Structure 1
Amino acid sequence: MDLPSFFQQHPRGLLALSGGVDSALLAWAAGKYGAGWRACFVQTPFQPAHERADAETLADLCGLPLTVLEADVLADPQVAANPPRRCYFCKRALFRAILDHAAEKGLPLVADGTNASDDAGDRPGMAALAELGVRSPLRECGLTKADVRRLSREAGLPTWDKPAYACLATRVPAGTPLTAAALKKVEQGEAVLAALGFRDFRLRQRGDGALVQVTAAQMPLALERRAEILAGLAPLFAAVHLDLTARTPSD
């Protein structure tokens, strides 16, 4: 099966649009080959403002009506406790809300952007999607991350080379309880780094400090802009550390 065939067989549905490269290609295909698809972005403390802005831009570009749902995932104690399988509980809560919205709109299908490169053994959230009956067209069509980037570039999507972006909760070590305040600090800290020219990086909470991870190509920039990094992050974190083990560029 390919994407045109999938959307011809399923002309109507609701797409979970995160603003990332995978769901962007799916939104483009839904707009091109489908007939009555809508998009949905779920706003939680785990999503930074720029991801919502990207989702809004993509929905407009692909001609899909977009609904923004608000979800207080931290109200679920199984999410807030941040266990190793936090993603399972979080995905279950998010997609239940998305499925409810699809039912309200009379849409028969919910789809997400999981691709064929995603390893189910390393992604507990995929188990939640399977349990809820969420479809993953990219994965079903055998499209890997490399395929998604290639097709996105051919389609002229601005996300074709966008670095992979995991939610803010991944910046906090498993077992450390999640709070809205801590996640906001991480979001603000990453905004500081982005403004300084960093790309494909992570800022991870370590106690009351922060660990900055950049790629090997941007390590010289981190050293060059050391003073600016410290000045920007000092109001947020008691200590700032640079991980000298270079971050592998995301796929």
Structure 2
Amino acid sequence: MATVQDKLKQVKALFREMDQALIAYSGGIDSTLVAKIAVDVLGDRALAVTAESPSLLPEDLEDARVQAAEMGIRHEVVQTHEIDNPNYSANPVNRCYFCKSELHDTLRPLALERGYPYVLDGVNGDDLRDYRPGIQAAKERGVRSPLAEVGISKAEVREMAKLLGLPWWDKPAQPCLSSRFPYGEEITVAKLQRVGRAERYLRTLGLKNLRVRSEQETARIELLPEQIQEFVMTTDLPALVATFQSYGYRYVTLDLEGYRSGKLNEVLSLGQPALTP
């Protein structure tokens, strides 16, 4: 069985074959690892590009900038406008298809203009086993996923990032804010800003692994199961409720099952094929 060191060598070999590459870089640990390996192998022939949109927290954009500077990779920010696409804002089950279509329809021309033959993303091996319609959009546009190509799992991503000395190796996953809404509920800029403010508030309380699921006028807080009891006992709940209500929520609830990545996908029937536009 290949070790993490073996897989790291395989990814580096892929980059050496590419010669030049543009990385779709969100600042999350997956794309950060890809950017780190790219700059280690390609130097200034690697470019990391972050898409700025209402579904990205300003703090996450700043994290991406700081991390890129520390890794020494060239970094640029582009604007994407997926929220203007009614196929996206209507929030169908394949919403991510339209998000990644917008992203890569923006990055591909930029890559060609700059002379980069490859656009890469941070999709890992575990992602291929989840319902991720955005992966289809990326593949249709010729995007490569070096972590998935080598079969690197999420746990191995973190292990590899730690091995390479990235201080963010244990950074919590932070998918786009649109993932906080149940399928079928329209997504607007105001709603994205509201849920973003709610999550920022919880982080000021010292919480890291969390989600605020936004369902119409209700905010449902998800925390790690082992944190729930302490949270209830030590948090000024009336102040929290008042704060969330000031953001525009009417009801504030706590999910007693706790946080689990991809929970909203559980409403999809098992075995449902990926939908296409």
TM-score in same-fold range (> 0.5): yes
For 1:88, give the aligned amino acid: Y
Task: Give percent identity, aligned residues only.
Answer: 34
CA offsets per residue over residues 1-47 of structure 1, 9 Å max, x none?
71210111112110011111101111110111114010100001111
Once residues 249 and 174 of structure 1 are traced to their aligned partners in structure 2, the CA distance between those partners, rounded to angstroms, is: 15
CA offsets per residue over residues 136-156 of structure 1, 9 Å max, x none?
011111111111100111111
Once residues 192 and 99 of structure 1 are traced to their aligned partners in structure 2, the CA distance between those partners, rounded to angstroms, is: 36
- Corresponding residue to 1:125 among 109, 126, 134: 134
Q: What is the 5 A alignment of 1:74-93?
A: 74-93=83-102
CA displacement at 1:218 relative to structure 2: 1.4
CA offsets per residue over residues 53-78 of structure 1, 9 Å max, x none?
11111211221111100112111111
Aligned-residue Cα RMSD (Å) equals 1.5
Once residues 191 and 54 of structure 2 are traced to their aligned partners in structure 1, the CA distance between those partners, rounded to angstroms, is: 10
- Corresponding residue to 1:219 among 228, 240, 244: 228
Aligned-partner SS, 2:190 = helix
CA displacement at 1:189 relative to structure 2: 0.5
- Runs of 4+ more than 4 Å apart: none
For 1:190, give the aligned amino acid: E
Name structure 2 gaps, 5 residues minimum.
1-6, 263-277
The equivalent of 1:207 in structure 2 is: 216
For 1:205, give the aligned amino acid: S
Q: How many residue pairs were aligned?
A: 250
The equivalent of 1:21 in structure 2 is: 29
Once residues 51 and 154 of structure 1 are traced to their aligned partners in structure 2, the CA distance between those partners, rounded to angstroms, is: 23
Matching of residue 246 in structure 1 with residue 255 in structure 2 = no
Aligned-partner SS, 1:99 = helix
Asked whether the equivalents of residues 120 and 127 of structure 1 are also in contact (C-alpha less than 8 Å), the reply is: no
CA offsets per residue over residues 178-230 of structure 1, 9 Å max, x none?
10001000000000000011111100112212111111121123202123422
CA displacement at 1:119 relative to structure 2: 2.6
Aligned-partner SS, 1:39 = strand
The equivalent of 1:229 in structure 2 is: 240
Once residues 146 and 87 of structure 1 are traced to their aligned partners in structure 2, the CA distance between those partners, rounded to angstroms, is: 23
Aligned-partner SS, 1:163 = coil
CA offsets per residue over residues 114-136 of structure 1, 9 Å max, x none?
00111355111111111111000
For 2:258, give the aligned amino acid: A
CA displacement at 1:51 relative to structure 2: 1.2
